[in-house]
Amino acid sequence: MKNAYLGLGSNMGDKKRYLYDAVQMLNHHEGIRIINSSSLYETMPWGYVDQDIFMNLVIQIETSLSPEELLDVCQSIENRLGRVREVKWGPRVIDVDILLYEDQNLITDRLIIPHPHMINRDFVMIPLSEISPQLVIKGKTAIEWAQTFNLDALKKLSNK
């Protein structure tokens, strides 16, 4: 089994329900086991900012899937929950991103690991630091990355 981290977000409709459903679908996949989950956070949009606020969380998983197979599962879950890709970084019912997969560095046409924007996103690094504070990413721990952000900018909606 390989260790990986996924970032999940939603900013349309019943956001909590979409996140809960995506986590349940991941957890019920035979090649995935959820190890840990961050609290749920309410966050401002990133990239394309003229849209509703997001709810985000990060989960740690163990998986027997390759990175590409895991991406296929994530995209299948997004599609089953009604994700439509119209605007880059735009509104979405669900987003399931692979943040890290073991200590792999991977660049393909479909997938970049580590996620290329993760260290610039408070809604990734703060929840990630909650569940794996000593995880090293690009020479710094998750908690060190998280401390570069305004910790008050995210609203924690629930504890683990």
- The per-residue pLDDT for range 113-131, each reduced to its tens digit, is 999 999 999 999 999 999 9
- The per-residue pLDDT for range 83-111, each reduced to its tens digit, is 766 656 567 789 999 999 999 999 999 99
Q: Domain containing 153: what range?
A: 2-158
Query: What CATH number has the domain bearing residue 16?
Result: 3.30.70.560
Residues catalogued as catalytic: 83, 92, 95, 97
Kindly report the backbone phi and psi dihedral angles of residue 130, in degrees, each rounded to the nearest multiple of 5, phi listed first.
-65, -40
Query: Packing angle between helix 67-80 and helix 15-27, nearest 10 degrees?
Result: 140
Nearest to 114 by CA among 35, 8, 4: 4
d(CA 32, CA 129): 21
Q: Tell me the mean pLDDT in the region 73-79.
A: 95
**Token code pair at residue 82:** 């009604």
Q: How many domains, in total, are found in the chain?
A: 1
**Token code pair at residue 86:** 């119209």
Query: Which pLDDT score, from 0 to 100, does residue 143 have?
Result: 96
